[in-house]
Amino acid sequence: MAEGQLQAGRDGAVLRLSLTGDWTLAHAATLLGRLGGLATAGLTGSHLHDGGTREARLDTTSLNRLDTAGALLLVRLYRQLEDQGFSIDWPAPRHEHRSLFNYARGCGEAVTVWPATDSGVAGAVQHLGWLTMFFLREARRFTGFIGEVTETAVMMAFRPRQMRFTSMVHHMEETGLKALPIVGLLSFLIGMVMAYQGASQLQKFGAEIFVVDLIGISVLRELGVLLTAILIAGRSGSAFTAQIGTMKVNEEIAAMRTLGLDPVVVLVLPRMFALMLTLPVLTFFADIMGLVGGALMAWNALGISPDLFFHRLHDAVVLRTFLVGIVKAPVFAALIALVGCYEGLRVKRDAESVGRLTTRSVVQSIFLVIVFDALFSIMFNFLGV
């Protein structure tokens, strides 16, 4: 492969530019430098002033290979000469190069690579406004969705035979039974960590035995249900979005509608009811595992025997403590299922939005779970529970 060359010389009064070798991408960087050099020194310097001729002759007949980049560079050279007032004589290029030159000359203006965006303060304000509107619109749509699901659920109460029980049991297995190991293990570990941290603080006051109160109340009232809900939001909420989203991409939801099936009945309600039934059970399991973890650590670190632990627990914790925790589970379950299904139904027909909305579904459901947990705390405080 011969390197692309550009020779500038004088032919009497005429500036002669001859192009040889390969004018291709591989040599574009070198040629670009040569063109730049010509613009600063060559054309304005020696070739121009003496004689004062403004005639140029472009010779492309001995050009070897040419590609788009080479043709564009030649067009640049041509325009450079034109700008400096040269009259240009360009004998017809070789036949196989002609169409490339035509493409290069035809495309004219440079392309826009990025979409136009407002920068600076105006852009930031615009973005803020867009986000606000987006948030409000989403809130409105989501509220509408909750309404639709509620309405369908109430209708279902009168026509229980429409309920998809097989699907519900399937989702109970998926979201409940199969989540047992991970929920159990994590609560067990959290119970241990709580006991250990509590012990090291309470020991300073000689109040080791109160570690039982600490673990009992925090696990039963808050941690058990919160931890389970967050885990399930990540595990099952995301799965709901991905499943329904994939069906949406595949136009299965549209097909379902044309066949007279309501996606809320077929897809949303079984998932929501399944999760509302399993999340309290999972929470109960998490409570037990958390207490067991705490008891083991209290035994190990403080020498509180399991016997003493559960005896003390009996005094420290009343049934109400447990109920206050577990009553939140169905509400969290409904939130997670609603957000998961809602985002799944929002998927557009491209695969990319499945990923984006799955992420959003998890973030939103965890956010809502924590917000509702705070609301429950405020409410229980007012009620004096």
Partner 1 sequence: MVGSPQQKEVVIRVRGLVNRFDDNVVHQGLDLDVYRGEVIGVVGGSGTGKSVLLRTIIGLNEAVAGSIELLGTDMVHGSPEALRKVRQRFGVLFQDGALFSSLTVAQNIQVPLKEFYDLPQDLLDEIAAAKLFMVGLSPDAGSKYPAELSGGMRKRAGLARALALDPEVVFFDEPTAGLDPIGAAAFDQLVRDLQQALGLTVFMVTHDLDSLHAICDRIAVLAEKKVLLTGPMDVMLKDKHPWVVEYFHGPRARAAAITATLEERM
Q: Which stretches of the chain bind partner 1, using CB under 8 A?
A: 24-26, 28-29, 32, 67-69, 71-73, 96, 99-100, 102-104, 106-116, 350, 352
| Residue whose C-alpha is closest to residue 366's, from 256, 243, 236, 174 | 236
Taking the complex as a whole, how short is the minimal distance between the CB of residue 75 and partner 1, in angstroms? 9
Backbone angles phi and psi of 350, in degrees to 5: -105, 145
Least distance in angstroms from the C-beta of 35 to partner 1: 10
User: Measured between alpha carbons, how far is residue 6 from residues 61, 145, 192 in Å?
Assistant: 13, 69, 78
Minimum distance from residue 267 beta carbon to partner 1 (Å): 25
Closest CA to 232 of 280, 295, 288, 289: 280
E strand map for 55-154: 55-59, 63-66, 87-89
Rounded to the nearest angstrom, the gap between the alpha carbon of residue 363 and the centroid of all alpha carbons in its chain is 10
- Direct distance between the N- and C-terminal alpha carbons of the chain, in angstroms, rounded to an integer: 86
Q: Collect all residues with Cβ–Cβ distance below 8 Å to 90 and sequence separation of at least 6.
A: 57, 58, 60, 78
Nearest CB to partner 1, comparing residues 104 and 183? 104
CB neighbours (10 Å) of residue 26? 15
Quote the least distance from Cβ 110 to partner 1, whole Å: 5
CA distances from 196 to 90, 188, 191, 253, 333 (A): 87, 12, 9, 51, 30
Q: Specify the residue, 115 or 160, whose C-beta has the smaller distance to partner 1.
A: 115
CB of 66 to partner 1, least distance (A): 9
Whether 310 contacts 207, CB under 8 Å = no
Q: Which is nearer to partner 1, 103 or 134 (CB)?
A: 103
Q: How far is the CB of 79 from partner 1 (least distance, A)?
A: 11
Rank residues 115 and 120 by Cβ distance to partner 1 and give the closer one: 115
Nearer to partner 1, 99 or 305 (CB): 99
Q: Give 23 or 188: the residue with its C-beta nearer to partner 1.
A: 23
Q: Which is nearer to partner 1, 31 or 81 (CB)?
A: 31
Q: How far is the CB of 25 from partner 1 (least distance, A)?
A: 5
Closest CA to 271 of 356, 377, 163: 163
The distance of closest approach from Cβ of residue 71 to partner 1 in the complex, given in angstroms and rounded to an integer, is 8
| Nearest to partner 1 of 54, 105 (CB atom) | 105
Residue of 124, 134, 145 lying closest to 335 (CA atoms): 145
Chain position carrying tokens 């809320």: 264
